[in-house]
Amino acid sequence: MKKITAFLFLLFLLPAFLPAQKKSDVDLRKLDKYYQKMVADWDIPSASIGIVKDGELIFTGNYGVLEVGKKDPPNANTLYAIASNSKAFTSAIIGMLVQEGKLDWDDPVRKYLPYFDLYDSWVSENTTIRDILSHRVGLGTFSGDNIWYKSELPAEEFIKRYKHVPQAYAFRSGYGYSNLMFIAAGEIIETVTGKSWAENVEQRILQPLGMDRTVASVKELEAKGNLATPHARNETGNYPIPWTSWDNVAATGGLISSVSDIAKWMIFNLDNGIHNGDTLLSKQTRNTVWTPHNNFTVDHTSPNDFGRHFNAYGLGWGLSDYHGRLRVGHTGGYDGMITAITLIPDENLGVVVLTNGVKSPIMAATYYALDQFLGVENGKDWSADYLKRTDENLAKDTRIADRKAKRVLNTKPSMEVEKLIGTYQSDIYGKIDIRQKNGELSLDFTHSPLLSARLTHWHYDVWEIHWDHPQAWFSFGTVQFKTDNNLNVQGFDFDVPNDDFFFEQLKPYKIKDAKGE
């Protein structure tokens, strides 16, 4: 997920909000100054950063503006989408249900969702709750996310399509970060409790912890107020985009929160699931979700920046070591917002970074704070280092430029436009319509209207996609229509270069032409 302009001047002028700080060996004003420069250097619209230590929020830094072109700055109560940081809330709720004897970590998913169906019947029967919470079911990272992205269907309809997502590795023998599986976890919670995931998170976590600024639906944003605006980015810089509803996939990424509220969540977790003397998560639950269930290879033959010896995923949390201490955390990517939550339990330390752009320094901000509090003396300027790497990687990504360079001008399609019109079926998604509107072809995803687009001829039987609505994660794309030997249109293939949503998996085939045949 992924120029300094006149806006940079505004970033330098806007002061960070620094409340009365608890005394610390760390120079918090130095930290604040570093973050001011970091936000300007990265040209991120805004960032809100919080640090908890020994049960208190001891630092809040708020930089930039809520929306490019406007003057309002963020503060500790400003709302940002925390996206996949919501997964730890989902595993916590599952843990509470285990404590109550209502389910077990090793229960088959089909015990609660009989329609749960994957690429293999045996795998479908034997996939457990523990499996879906640790990304080890055999699906590739982000694979199948086109099923739910910007869709208006209920979660159950998504789950019924999982069988069409291709297998990427053997069951329980690899790692593939799967938003789909946490959607299923949310449906298990609703099946067991008779209440939605949103109701469960509100009643079981948000209310007890006093997280009264946190919501699980974009429908609640207007009433709350004080919102950061999401931003996408193009060659000229950041530009605002609308909030997108993730209400129907909230268990995988639907929470919207603030530094002040996430501080309460971090303190609760650093206290091992105890809040004001009330044990919400048992010792066994805490140990289970923070135990590695899916391990990644670490290169032990050469040093790394973190003194890392292990790297793994637990249940809703990422796990590793950071210079000899356990590190627990997660990141989140929402349309136009990137966030990170990181805990160092041994030091009773936590860092939250919330940003409203897609080119974001979340880990640079995190690692700089950790190094200051842990006394790591490596002279590392994380912001400069990560910015250099990010810019280099962006420069190396020539996928779109390469495609544009290969365009062949002055060609014509091999078939009449009327033959392209009709309804197409994608097994993994559903129906997609090609229509003619105002003399142009249109592309309509039947249950995802925010993915609608115009099509213009690119070359031969390839047409360029012009999205009707702003898209944070992808821009340029094409479709290529395919015919049989008699030049009857059979279907089309997508080519939308990006790292998050794999349109090439859709493979629509024609089921009805313009005449309804």
Q: What is the pLDDT of residues 161-195, one digit of tens each?
A: 999 999 999 999 999 999 999 999 999 999 999 99
- Give me 241's structure tokens: 């985009």
Residue 516: band (very low, low, confident or very high) from pLDDT cuts 50, 70, 90: low
Query: Which one of 117-131, 295-309, 365-379 scores highest in mean pLDDT?
Result: 117-131
Mean pLDDT of the chain: 94
Query: What was the pLDDT predicted at 438?
Result: 87
Query: What was the pLDDT predicted at 330?
Result: 98
Residue 397 has pLDDT above 70, yes or no: yes
Query: What was the pLDDT predicted at 32?
Result: 98
Residue 1 has pLDDT above 60, yes or no: no
Rounded-to-integer distance, Cα 407 and Cα 480, Å: 13
Give the CATH number of domain 404-513; options: 2.30.110.10, 1.10.10.1100, 2.40.128.50, 2.60.40.1930. 2.40.128.50
Domain spans of the chain, in order of start: 7-91+192-396, 404-513
Parallel, antiparallel or unpaired: strands 56-64 and 80-81: unpaired
Query: What was the pLDDT predicted at 377?
Result: 87
pLDDT in tens, 197-236: 999 999 999 999 999 999 999 999 999 999 999 999 999 9
**111 vs 24, more confident:** 111
Which CATH superfamily does the domain covering 7-91+192-396 fall into?
A: DD-peptidase/beta-lactamase superfamily (3.40.710.10)
Inter-axis angle of helices 362-374 and 28-42, to 10 degrees? Answer: 160
Q: What is the mean pLDDT of residues 426-448?
A: 96
Strand residues in 395-452 grouped as ranges (E):
422-426, 430-437, 440-445
* Range name among 348-352, 487-491, 511-515 with the lowest pLDDT average: 511-515
Nearest C-alpha neighbor of 47 from the set 39, 56, 37: 39
Query: What was the pLDDT predicted at 25?
Result: 87
**513 vs 165, more confident:** 165
Residue 517: band (very low, low, confident or very high) from pLDDT cuts 50, 70, 90: low
Print the SS3 string covering 266-287.
HHHHHCCCEECCEECCCHHHHH
pLDDT in tens, 292-330: 999 999 999 999 999 999 999 999 999 999 999 999 999
Rounded-to-integer distance, Cα 188 and Cα 182, Å: 10
